[in-house]
Structures are given as structure tokens and as C-alpha cells.
Structure 1
Amino acid sequence: MLDSDFSPMNQEDCLADLHVRLFSQKKSKTDPLYSPGKVGLEQEAFSWLRDPKNGQALHPTSLYEGQRPIARLLWEKCQAFGAQGHQFGAEDSLRIDKISFASGDNFQFEPGGQVEIATAPYPSLIELERQLKWMQRILEEIQEENPVTFAQIGTHPFFTGEEIGLQLPKPRYRHLQGYFNSLHPAGQQMMLQTCSQHINLDLGEEEETQQLRIGVAQVICPLLTAIFANSPTMERKNSGKKSLRSTLWKNLDSKRTGFWIPEKGDFSKKGWVEAYAQMAFQAPLMNVKGVDDRWFGEKITWAYWLENEIEDRKPTFSDWENHLSLLFPQVRMKGFLEVRATDALPRTWQLVPAAFLSGIFYSPHSLQAVWELLAPKMNSLNLLCQKASDGLMDDEIFRIAKEIFRRAGDGLQSLPESFRSKEQIQLLESYFEHFTAKRRTPAEELLEKLSSNKPLIY
């Protein structure tokens, strides 16, 4: 990091910052000895008002307007637990966009009014599950006391982007909307009509472990999309895909989404850092702080700004941080691994991806085995992602999914009992037997619920 957030940067500064801040991790003295690594989860949910008579969806909820604004309902619940509200906007129109707890857990809001549970990183799956259930219970109480449904699904099954609208009008999101709308209709759909689940995992201390985990995180993403697909519908129509959300992201902006693969197969840590930097340098500027709601065109990239002034100034560290936060690859580096390939899942199953990945990443034997299995696929990840949007229909994806599920189960079993419970191992096995072994995903189950015309309540 530079001595000043406001000092002009060059390419060497950017590379040094990535290496030290985003691609390094030191074990904290307070980390429990039993923990093979920390794990966190970000889970998004749609909300809508439902008919109290038959439970059917009536119209989208609003974050800040109307009789039951979601931000107010959630804030009223959370105050009893000593939560802190974080506001944005002018003094005459302050609005809460984040609710944080002393534990490090947060509720946050997304542009289309989606509610996000963002847990702190916990040293065990046991502790993660406890906190996740506690935060879900807060949403359940709101749902029980109001004609509001929270649905944890990858794409909105009912309402259009125009009906939902941009509900979080921060400058950042106005810039996002303008930028994406200029590129592809998927931009508005991604912002307003999708929900995902992110799994946050330790990078590790040893360089060999770091480069192996980064590689596995990249190459496993298409399999995660296929195994946990849960977004078959949008605007009351069957899309024909099991993970429409992944298709929308793929069509969005190839310069800031997808994968960052080192040239010439250099999977050393240096190779990974340089690949991430290359993605960041070539991504068009989406938002420059202090500049009105506009973007500068595809040719005005970070690399361009490093060499040329914009609005009479060169980029600073603060600009660099902002630019990095507006990259949306399948795996985002944050001093840990943020794996972003999974649709939002219903409560019953939403801990499974974290258990699945913990069993692979925190078991050295499983990590190495999965790398050896998937590394040959590194140059065909975009094709695999395309196939993964159909769930487990592709024969190759189905075969690999069963194999890595076995590796995940073996790895989870090998971890300390203080990290994972027997019930969590059983949950992972149940998911495999209920879905993957039968070549099914939650998307098929969701389609069955929607076709029955019963209230969709998770």
C-alpha cells in the first residue's frame, strides 16, 4: 500500500499492492489451533409482498418506501441485538444500507433491494452454521409477522427489472447501471434480478498452498455452478437453463467477469498475481470518484489512466481500491478467496457449498487430488461454464461432479470434529444422494414448486 491514499500510482505500485494485500495471508495469533482454515458465507435473498389470503406474490417490496419498507423492518429487528446501522445519502435523505453486529456479521442491501446475509469468517463450519441460522431466524420472524416473503433463489421468478427498479440509488450503483445498460440487457437483470451465494475461504500461509488453492478455486467454479444450479426461471418464464444467473454473468462484460488465467500455464503465485493485474489493467473504468454519473468508453481502461490524466489527475490508491471492487470475476482476491460461482440456495441446503469447499480446500490430500483432476480443464473453463448452465446434463460435468463430491466428502470427514459436525457430513451426503447422484439440481425442484402454483416460501 502507498504511504498516502492520494499519491499517484504506477503499474509497479499496483502489482506490489496486489501481492502484499490481496494475495497474502498471515495466521492470526487469535486463530484457534483446531481450525484448518476460516470460512464465511454471503447469501442473498429476494423479497416481495405476498397476498395474505393465498400466499401468492403480489409485487416487489421496497427498501425505503411504502408501509413495509424492508430496510426499516430489518433495522427494527436488529436493534434489539445491539446492531449498528450504516447510512448513506444527504442529511435530509439518509438511508441505511448496512446493518452490522459486534460479531462481524452484517445484513447488507443490493441494488434491486436484495437482502444479503454476510457472515464474518469463522474458524469452523459449526460456528458458521450457528450464526447463519441466527441471521436467517431474523428474516423468518419478519416473514411471520408481515405479508413478506424472502426467497433465496438465483433469479427472480416473478417481476421484471422495471417493476423492481434501482432501489439503492448510491452513486456507485447509478454508475454500475449506466455502464452495464450501455453494454447488454443482462446488466440490469444482473443488478436487479439475481441472487448468488459467495463462499469465503482462507488463502493459506505457505506459497505452495496459496497457488494450489487459487488454481483449484478457479477451475472448480463451473462444477459449483452445475452442482448447485438454482435459477431456472425469470419473469414467470422457464428460461430453459438450470442456472440462468450464470448465463447472465457470462454475457455481461468479459473484461471484468469470468476467469483470470496466467499466460503460458505459469501457475506460480507470481503468475497468478500477474494474471489478476492484467485483468484489472484491461478492465474499462466504470466509476471514477468525484466524476458525475458517466463512464468513459471501453478504451479508457485502468492501464490507460495510469499513463494519461483524467479530469486533470492521475489515479491514486483510493481509485485503485474502488476499481478493484468493481471487478466481478468468478474468484475475487481479498486477502482470502471469494468464490462467486453459486446460485443462492434455499435454507435447507445453503451450508452445503461451504462444507463441500472446506472438505476440498482444507484437506491437503483432497486439494491435490482435485487439482490433478481439473487442472487439464484450465483452458476450457468458458466452455465448461456454458455447459454448467444446464446443470448436470452434460456427461463430462456429471462424471466429474460425482468424483469431486467424493473427494469433498472424504476431505470433510478428515477434518477435526471441532471444525465440522457429524450432522454436516450427513448434510453433504444427503445433498449428493438427493440431487447430484440422481443428476438433479435444486433448479428442478424449484420448477416443480412453481408449476404446482403453490406459494413459494423458503
Structure 2
Amino acid sequence: MARDVSDVTPIGARSELVEWVASGEKPREAWRLGTEHEKVPFYQANSSPVPYDGERGIRALLEGMQNLTGWDPIMENGRPIGLVDEAGGGAISLEPGGQFELSGAPLKTLHQTEAETAQHLDHAKAIGDRLGVGFLTLGMSPLWSRAETPVMPKARYRIMTDYMPKVGTMGLDMMYRTATVQVNMDYESEADMVKKLRVSLALQPIATAIFANSPFTEGKPNGYLSMRSRIWRDTDGDRTGMMAFAFEDGFGYERYVDWALDVPMYFVKRGSTYHDVSGASFRDLFAGKLAQLPGEHATHSDWANHVSTLFPEVRLKRYLEMRGADVGSLDHITALSAFWVGLLYDPAALDGAWELVKSWSAEERESLRAEVPKLALKTNIAGRTARDVASDALALSRAGLQRRAHRDEAGRDETRHLDYADEIVNSGRTQAERLLERYHGPWGGSVAPAFKECVF
């Protein structure tokens, strides 16, 4: 999320929270996709992490990007912490360890999102090269310890940093050392949201498997193909996971809102001040009974900010966020978006995807989620391999993209953006497995070459 919301309109009733989610409904012709990706910066000269301050730090990188793009700065306590394109809808933000994130604008086609990401990467490379900074195409920083990783000057991250060790053993690794790619997608009705949410929750571990790309930690193999995904399994059980309740009869906006109300808060923002209320109940704020802020009542911005701190594998705000994949190259980023657009934006593909997963039990979905970080495409689910399911899902997605029939200037449809994922599944070898082969072969047991080969 690029910046926290400041809408001080009081919330008068629970129904307003449900209406807030429902207000995301859009007619099919207005559906868009928004692609987000994070990337870990490093100094090209010595593969060391990039701090916020200094002549060649993250702040200098942001200021260079501002000069190049003309985007407006997002400020906190007099310091730039991001940029926003008010006209187009895109934004650049900083994750806790300096991961540099593009939140793409809502766009109509995958061709447009590929071009947007490519332009951003060109800009980041132009400014980065000037500062001696590169960016990794890996889902986790492969070399530095948590202590060596810089900390960005954002108040919400200080609050989260204090809270995370109380609710899991890997939350700080998630914050400071991982990098993801996700696509944000629309729905036209409550029923449409429910179907898309169920399909995408069930298949999220399949996406994790296809795009597994984080096999190294602190200079050596970590035993996983997607360590980033493993980390999320021990981050904060109150706000993460597969949301088994989404598959229960009667699930809809209200049930999601009730779950969100009971997830402990991190902070309440008043003006420019972040008040640490970590562990407190939004219901208490809603009722004006929050012990840390006596007399304060919940506002619409409090709700929007709180919902942004929920981290299930698929997140519902006023759109759906697919949150299961490690970051990778430009082709990798666009393929992730293509996978979900083809499946969820074509009615026949969505029906086919539901047929793929509807018989899976909650236990089977959870087992898939638990095993994929280590085994990726070799994981078993309901008598099949994840690779088998991925192959079926990709075929459905490709057919969905063909029916969308959005063509680029060369006359090609959107199916070309799936070629990267198809090659991985057809070969049965994830990017993480290919990197491990290089580590044990030409890299000579060192991750140092990653800072030359695994870069944007």
C-alpha cells in the first residue's frame, strides 16, 4: 500500500463497513488489473544493502525517480517515503527493508501492464545505475542477515516491528527480507466476488509453486523453493492464511467484515501521528471504548487502513489481491498477472477453475499450502501433483485470454504473457530449482553471482 488513508468521516454502523467493500463492485466492461511488485536494492560494487539516508541511499533513489517521472512525493515527518501519480493512479512505495515497490495503475490489458512495468524498471535502472544501485529478481534477499538489513523511516513499520515477534517467529523476515508480485482484480457482484475468492484461494499455492523463486537465505540454500511463502506461514496467524471460512455456506461481504473486525489492529492514525494500538480490537474503537485512545471513534480511514494490514493469501478490499507469488523478472511479473486474469476474468475459465478445486477439503487446501514452499510443483493434492493442476489451470487461463482477444500493436493476443509460466510447468523445473543447480554448479557454492545474474 503506497500511503495510508485520511478520511475522518465517522463510521455510524457496521453496515457501512459492508457497504465499503460492496462499493468495489464494477460492471464487467470497467474491470481492470493492477500489478504490484517489490524488488530488493543492493549496491553494485559490493552487494551490500542500501540504507535510506546518504548520497546514494533510498531517499536519493526516490528523489531521482521523482525528477524523472514528475510524480508527487509522499512525505512522512519531512522525509519522502514514496511517490504517487495522481493522474494515472500508480505509486512507488517502500517496504520495511527498503524493498522498492511499484503499485501499478488500473489498466485494461496485460500488454499495458507489461509496458508499465518495463517503463518503471527502465526508470529505476537509469537512476539506480547513476547511484551504483541494482535490484534483485529474487523473492527474498539471498545474503544479508536481518540485522544487516536497513530499516525504512515509516511509523507504521516501527509499530509492526515491535508487534510481529509476539505473534510468530518469522514476521520480521517477511517485513524486511521478502519481495512479492501480486495482481489486483475487480468483481461485479457479491456472488462474483465469492466465486473468484474461493477459486483464487484454492489455487494460490499453485501460483506459489509455479513462481517459486526464493531458495537462498544468508548466503546458502534455505531448504525451500519459496522461502518467502514458508515465512508467511509463521508470521501472524490472526491475519494470514487460507481463510477456510470463505468456503462455508453463506459467506459474503458480511462474513469477511466480521473476520476483519476481530483481527487485532496495529495502529490508529490521527493527523500525521500513528498511535500504537497493536493487539487492540477494532470493535472497541468502533464502540468508542479503545483503552489506548479513550473517546476516539472509528472513521472510514481507520477501516481502510486496518483492512490494509490483513494478509491472507487473497485479500479483499474493494478489489481482490492475489498475494501468493515470489517476485522475478519482467516476464515472471507479467505472467503472474496473466495467470489470474485469464482464470478470473473469463466466465468459462472461472467455471473450469472452480471445477478443478471445488472438491478439495479445507484440510487438503491447507496441506497444499503447507507443502508447496518446499516441494513446489511436486506437491500432491487430492491424488494429483501441483504440476498437474498447474497445467490444467494454465490451459484454462490461456483459453480465457484467447477469448478476451485483446491484441497488441503487433496483433498478438494476451496469451503470449503465459509463455514464461508454461515453460516452467512443462519442464517441471521452477526458477528456484534452476538457481539451486547453478549454486551447486557454476556458482561454486556461492550466492555472489546472483547479484550479477538475478537482476533487473
**For the superposition of Structure 1 and Structure 2, which TM-score range results when normalised by the shorter chain?**
0.7 to 0.9
2:84 counterpart (100, 108, 112): 100
Please say if 1:66 is aligned against 2:54.
yes
**Pairwise CA distance, 1:20:** 1.9
Gaps of 5+ in 1: none
Distance 1:143 1:294, change over 3 A: closer
**Contact 2:182 2:337 (C-alpha < 8 Å) held by counterparts:** no
Q: Give the match for residue 349 of structure 2.
A: 366
Distance across 2 between alignment mates of 1:77 and 1:209: 38
Match for 1:432: what amino acid? D
Q: Give the match for residue 197 of structure 1.
A: 181
**Pairwise CA distance, 1:294:** 4.6
Match for 2:412: what amino acid? K
Distance across 1 between alignment mates of 2:290 and 2:102: 39
**Contact 2:82 2:94 (C-alpha < 8 Å) held by counterparts:** yes
| DSSP-derived class of the 1:135 partner | helix
Please say if 1:277 is aligned against 2:257.
yes
1:237 counterpart (220, 225, 234): 220
**Pairwise CA distance, 1:332:** 1.4
Distance across 2 between alignment mates of 1:286 and 1:139: 31
**Pairwise CA distance, 1:397:** 1.6
Distance across 2 between alignment mates of 1:411 and 1:225: 21
1:96-175 matches, within 5 Å, as: 96-101=80-85, 102-167=87-152, 169-175=153-159
**Pairwise CA distance, 1:306:** 4.6
Displaced runs of 4 or more, over 6 A: none
Q: Give the match for residue 3 of structure 2.
A: none
Q: Give the match for residue 5 of structure 1.
A: 8
Distance across 1 between alignment mates of 2:427 and 2:278: 49
Distance 1:263 1:220, change over 3 A: closer
Q: Give the match for residue 418 of structure 2.
A: 428
Distance 1:180 1:207, change over 3 A: closer
**Contact 1:255 1:279 (C-alpha < 8 Å) held by counterparts:** no
Q: Give the match for residue 332 of structure 2.
A: 349
Match for 2:35: what amino acid? L
Please say if 1:334 is aligned against 2:334.
no
Distance across 1 between alignment mates of 2:307 and 2:349: 31
Q: Give the match for residue 446 of structure 1.
A: 435
TM-score by length of 1: 0.86
1:251 counterpart (234, 244, 257): 234
TM-score by length of 2: 0.86
Percent identical residues: 27
Measured on the aligned residues, the alpha-carbon RMSD in Å equals 2.5
| DSSP-derived class of the 2:96 partner | coil
Deviations 1:138-178 (A, max 9, x none): 112134334211013111101111111322x2221111100
1:380-395 matches, within 5 Å, as: 380=363, 381-390=365-374, 391-395=376-380
Q: Give the match for residue 294 of structure 2.
A: 312
**Pairwise CA distance, 1:186:** 0.8
Distance 1:264 1:286, change over 3 A: same
**Pairwise CA distance, 1:183:** 2.8
Distance across 2 between alignment mates of 1:336 and 1:374: 22
Distance 1:292 1:361, change over 3 A: closer
**Contact 2:402 2:413 (C-alpha < 8 Å) held by counterparts:** no
Counting matched residue pairs gives 428
Distance across 2 between alignment mates of 1:364 and 1:392: 26
**Pairwise CA distance, 1:292:** 7.6
**Contact 2:285 2:298 (C-alpha < 8 Å) held by counterparts:** no
**Contact 1:229 1:343 (C-alpha < 8 Å) held by counterparts:** yes
Match for 1:86: what amino acid? I
